[in-house]
A and B are shown apart, each in its own frame.
Chain A
């Protein structure tokens, strides 16, 4: 049967899944949820426009994560960004450079860029060199990006995905090179570096919300509403837990450990 101490985990999992599924179902029925405006998202169009005017490329990096283990959810959200950015760049005739660090991300990114150029009605813009595999080693990857940013005179650096220690190397050097920067990651240890070095930053969960907003996929938008409900659930639990702990009761604490 159920392992000891896992009952509430199961209940929570059911609540989380139900909330998300209901949200998705509602969105699919046409009640498209609205998401509050995110400054970093609005800045993407401005950034691509700026790069087009300057006649310089936009660089997109999804970080060192992969699609299976290392930061898989955020890597998938980053593909939504890539799709939007590639389509927008193709429509504006702006040159795009995508650098990747993992084999599976290379395959997915290449597919996404090819599809986006096709949607923009400019399949001829797709060249094998648009998506570039650098290295799975984080520092080699960072060194490669730094070189590309400097040599190819990149105007806009967009970093959305899973980042580790290389985040600051890339963001700092792109700042040094005068790039406009938009970044986002769910790795809380790297967000501070992005906040310090970039113009716009998507903090943690904002990456998922922005990804859903860009794709306008009812399933993604619905999932955001479901997740918001789960956050309210967590908020109420914490308030109840703290208040009960203040009055010396451990009822909520025991309930959660059942």
Chain B
């Protein structure tokens, strides 16, 4: 059995987290959860302070990069929300954050998420695989048409098209679920190996 304090803490916390799945919500799990959240919050504060220091205060004072005062000003405005009289000022910063997010989201999206995927589907319809891919794409896409202006063309006999698309989606989700479940299993195996090998010292298990 391990004599390392770190390993013991890690092992006991791992068991505490497992206790939720094996039993139910209990004080041991709660202790581990609160410690986890507390450490996470503490880490976030330290990281935040470091970012302000390295990306804001240091360049401002050492390199006289006064343009950094602008983002700092908007950052400080976010705290105005704690004042009833000046809460509206924080909305300036929020709108700036949201608009920047929307703009950044658009960058490269047309090429990478739209055209590249379309051109990857230009497949000759000469094999079952290719036919399945093209049919899956076309029917799957019709499932995501929402406005009644266009969905009215998919009524009657054509209503089967988006339904076929939904089937393709579910098959894809099933495959993805299976694949990702393997990842979760390997995480579980990793933790069990840690407990058995590193904590209990049963080193013959490799």
Query: Which A residues lie at the B interface, using CB under 8 A?
Result: 6, 8-9, 12-13, 16, 33-36, 66-69, 72-73, 75-76, 103-104, 107-108, 110-111, 133-137, 139-141, 143-144, 146-147, 150-151, 168, 173, 188-189, 191-193, 195-196, 203-206, 209, 224-225, 228-229, 231-232, 234-235, 237-239, 241-246, 248, 252-253, 256-257
Q: Give the Cβ gap from B203 to chain A, nearest Cβ, in Å.
A: 28
Contact B30 A203 (CB under 8 A): no
Which 4 A-B pairs have CB atoms at the shortest separation, nearest pair first?
Answer: A135-B40, A241-B122, A72-B101, A150-B25
Q: Is residue B121 within 8 Å, beta carbon to beta carbon, of the partner chain? A: yes
CA distance in complex: A253, B122 (Å):
7
Taking CB atoms, residues of chain B closer than 8 Å to A140 are: 36-37, 39-40
Contact A151 B119 (CB under 8 A): no
CA distance in complex: A189, B184 (Å):
13
Q: Is residue B192 within 8 Å, beta carbon to beta carbon, of the partner chain? A: no
Q: Is residue B72 within 8 Å, beta carbon to beta carbon, of the partner chain? A: no
Contact B148 A36 (CB under 8 A): yes
State the majority secondary structure of interface residues on B: helix
Contact A204 B176 (CB under 8 A): no
B146-186 CB mask vs A (1 if < 8 Å, else 0) is: 11111100000000000000000110011011001000100
B1-26 CB mask vs A (1 if < 8 Å, else 0) is: 00000000000000001001000110
CA distance in complex: A136, B46 (Å):
13
Q: A34-B148, A140-B37, A253-B119 are in contact. List 10 more A-B contacts (CB 8 A).
A: A36-B146, A137-B43, A144-B33, A150-B20, A193-B180, A234-B141, A235-B142, A239-B134, A256-B119, A256-B122
Q: Is residue B104 within 8 Å, beta carbon to beta carbon, of the partner chain? A: yes
Chain B contact residues (Cβ within 8 angstroms of A): what range? Answer: 35 or more
State the majority secondary structure of interface residues on A: helix
Contact A231 B110 (CB under 8 A): no
Contact A147 B30 (CB under 8 A): yes
Taking CB atoms, residues of chain B closer than 8 Å to A35 are: 146-148
